[in-house]
Amino acid sequence: MEQRLTLITLGVKNLQRSKAFYQQVFGWKPTAASTEGVVFFQLNGIQLALFPQESLADDAGVSSEGKGFRRFALAHNVRSEQEVDELVTLLEQKGATVLKRPEKAFWGGYCSYIADPDENLWEIAYNPHLPLDAAGNVL
């Protein structure tokens, strides 16, 4: 099995609300393949999909009942501590919930957590041990 991933699907409560968040707060553009029932964003070699929670559970053949902590986090790393501060300020101005303000981490980085409308965690971080190339990829 090749060591790679193609797509991350978030099972959301309200597709329009989530789509609005990723478009308006993050400023991301959906792909042309997006429909009334599913929304895709092209990221760096992978895609992020928004799909109703019940539809995702149905597709996998599991119960859609789930609550509390989402038990995963997505990270968007930037290239300096200042960029973390600036991005978190911008996201908060646009309506994102800031769960943890930017601060130094014990491992030498600098990070913050925000939440999307389903309380999915997004870490906005600078990690000096994990350099990014020009396209933002970890190599």
Restricting to residues 59-88, name those near its own copies by CB under 8 A.
59-77, 87
CA-wise closest residue to 64 among 18, 21, 12: 12
93 binds its own copies per the rule CB under 8 A: no
Whose Cβ is closer to its own copies: residue 16's or residue 24's?
24
> Cβ–Cβ contacts within 10 Å for residue 69, how many?
7
Least gap, CB of 126 to its own copies (angstroms): 10
C-beta of residue 119 within 8 angstroms of C-beta of residue 103: no
Pairing between strand 7-12 and 47-52? parallel
Tell me how far apart the alpha carbons of residues 85 and 32 are, in angstroms, rounded to a whole number.
Answer: 32
Least gap, CB of 39 to its own copies (angstroms): 13
| Sites of contact with its own copies (CB under 8 A) | 1-12, 26-29, 33, 41-48, 53, 56-57, 59-77, 87, 90-91, 99-100, 113, 118-121, 123, 125, 129-130, 132, 135-139
